[in-house]
Amino acid sequence: MNKIILMGNLSKKPKLHKSEGEKAISITRFDIAVNRKGKSKENSEADFFHCTAFGKTAEFVEKYFDKGSRMMLVGRVENNNYTNKQGEKVYSYQVVVEEVEFADTKNGSGKVSGDDNE
């Protein structure tokens, strides 16, 4: 099973793009900063995750979230490994977002499921 659940803050404003071709699909890429539990708030560290959302989920993220917005997301991790021009293997990953929810306030009731992804 490949499933990841993250709660954190967006490190910059998400940007929406449309794929090319006859059946264009919305794509939004963004980074989420997830705090690690530390002994004190002054010493806390964060991990940054590269995320990609598709379809209605992508449009929702771009429309309702901004830099610093807190969100909870559910998705899967995909490898983006490749060999660069110097012949070195580069290891990378991204989170493909399947669901996203507001995590800022009690009245944030937005939730979108990526039924039309990819």
CATH number at residue 66: 2.40.50.140
> What percentage of the chain reaches a pLDDT higher than 70?
83
Domain that holds residue 56: 4-36+46-111
E-strand ranges in the chain read 4-10, 15-18, 26-35, 46-54, 70-79, 82-83, 89-90, 93-102, 111-113
Determine the pLDDT at residue 21.
85
Structural domains counted in the chain: 1
pTM (predicted TM-score): 0.78
Q: Residues 64-88: what's their mean pLDDT? A: 95
* In-domain check, residue 59: yes
* In-domain check, residue 117: no
Task: Give whole-number Cα distances, 66 to 42, 84, 93, in Å.
Answer: 25, 32, 23
* In-domain check, residue 80: yes
Backbone angles phi, psi at 48, to 5 degrees: -110, 130
Res. 90: pLDDT tops 90: yes
Which pLDDT tens digit goes with each residue over 33-73?
999 876 666 667 899 999 999 999 999 999 999 999 999 99
* In-domain check, residue 116: no
Task: Give whole-number Cα distances, 59 to 36, 37, 83, in Å.
Answer: 29, 31, 32
Which pLDDT band holds residue 99 (cuts at 50, 70, 90)? Answer: very high
* In-domain check, residue 118: no
Res. 107: pLDDT tops 70: no
Determine the pLDDT at residue 34.
95
* In-domain check, residue 74: yes
* In-domain check, residue 94: yes
Which pLDDT tens digit goes with each residue over 25-39?
999 999 999 998 766
